[in-house]
Homo-oligomer: A and B are copies of this chain.
């Protein structure tokens, strides 16, 4: 058996006083919290692309990662070595899920036929690997943005044959996801957006996209895929403007095409901040709209205007996000997927482990803090009390639609209303949150 990470031990939980860099300090997979194990709450997944496809290049520089699995010149041989390395990594790390794009795991070939043949062969390889290791598929997806044919979009392309090519990829990627018992299927609108309004018909492109998503929903039902369909919002990059800008925009799109009960969102932390929102905001918005599906758990750089896909390290941020998710009932088919890449200077194989260990510990600790927020209920109670007056007659009648504008105008005059404001207590609430995080 090939040993890509032979110097790295399997990662175990050793507790927060451990000084072993190759051990978890907080992630204790089987620890029970609110009736579920940590692993069941967090449902963490590693990604294929950043770990096993990206080679360390950036816009200004060449590859810096020197990995064995990039060396074979035969594409299928390389794909299989990559799968070996990937599952060795997932297993040593002890992460329960992985996620992939079709062309991450399989060479895209020089024709539709070759694409299908390669992919089919690699899906069998992955199926065997899953069987052997117990690692499961959180979600699958199709990459319809890297090949030059997609330079002007996939579903939103001005050429219907390119739309059709993308449809073929999604067809096969959905089928593969079902075969591999994937729990979700994701659509990220890589180039579904515009570069310049001067050459773009927004209404037409949205109609194309709407029809594409309807076909995806129809196909899901046809094949009996029981996972969740997810759209992943992002405001820009690679395009100037992506149509799935943020959660609120995706919600409007789903409503326009009657899809709001069929598709949920996969929120990425760094996409949220690029859209001008806090990560917390996007999660809370999706929860309030009932469309939270899954999370791409990463972290951006507040000073940089592009997707840096860093590993999550902020418990201050993730504790509140996890609290929000727990309040909404926790993950169903979704989970925390690490759409994260090493810094380009972190060139050693061991860096892959440092990065994921830190991320998994960050989420585990955040979960513990969030669980206590839920169990104490102090925060929830304060919020409820703030709106308590809406449970009185006036408030209930307003929301029940029993009053017109005129009724209320008369009510205000009749009662000579002069309502006084109440403190919002923001600083006190922040202290309470820090009380949980730094207990």
Indicate with 1 or 0, residue by residue over A294-305, a CB within 8 angstroms of chain B CB atoms.
000000011111
Asked if residues A198 and B426 are in contact (CB atoms below 8 Å), the reply is: yes
A128 located at the interface, meaning its Cβ lies under 8 Å from any Cβ of chain B in the complex: no
**18 chain-A/chain-B pairs, Cβ below 8 angstroms:** A64-B148, A113-B413, A160-B389, A165-B412, A168-B408, A168-B412, A174-B405, A199-B424, A215-B408, A248-B248, A274-B305, A311-B430, A343-B426, A345-B421, A348-B423, A355-B427, A358-B430, A362-B434
**Are B343's CB and A424's CB within 8 A?**
yes
Count how many chain A residues have C-beta atoms less than 8 Å from C-beta atoms of the other chain.
160
**A419 with B149: CB separation less than 8 A:** yes
When distances are taken between beta carbons in the complex, the residues of chain B under 8 Å from A203 are 288-289
Binary B-proximity of A145-181 (CB < 8 A = 1, otherwise 0): 1111111100000111111110110111010000000
Cβ-defined contact, B158 with A390, below 8 A: yes
Per a CB cutoff under 8 Å, which of B163, B383, B403 touches A200?
B383
- Whether A248 pairs with B238 at a CB distance below 8 angstroms is no
Task: Using A60-B145, A195-B343, A275-B276 as known contacts, say yes or no to A112 and B412 having CB atoms under 8 A apart.
Answer: yes
- A401's closest neighbor in chain B, by CB? B211
Bound form: Cα–Cα A196–B426 in Å: 7
Smallest CB gap from A348: residue in B: B423
B409 in contact with A167 (CB, 8 Å) = yes
Once the chains bind, are B249 and A343 in contact (CB under 8 Å)?
A: no
Closest beta carbon of chain B to A261's beta carbon, Å: 13
CB distance from A14 to the nearest CB of B (A): 12
Check A303 against B241 for contact (C-beta < 8 Å): yes
Tell me whether B152 and A214 are in contact (CB under 8 A): no
Alpha-carbon separation in the docked complex, A152 to B418 (Å): 15
A399-439 interface mask toward B, CB cutoff 8 Å, 1 = contact, 0 = none?
10101111011011100111111111111111101110111
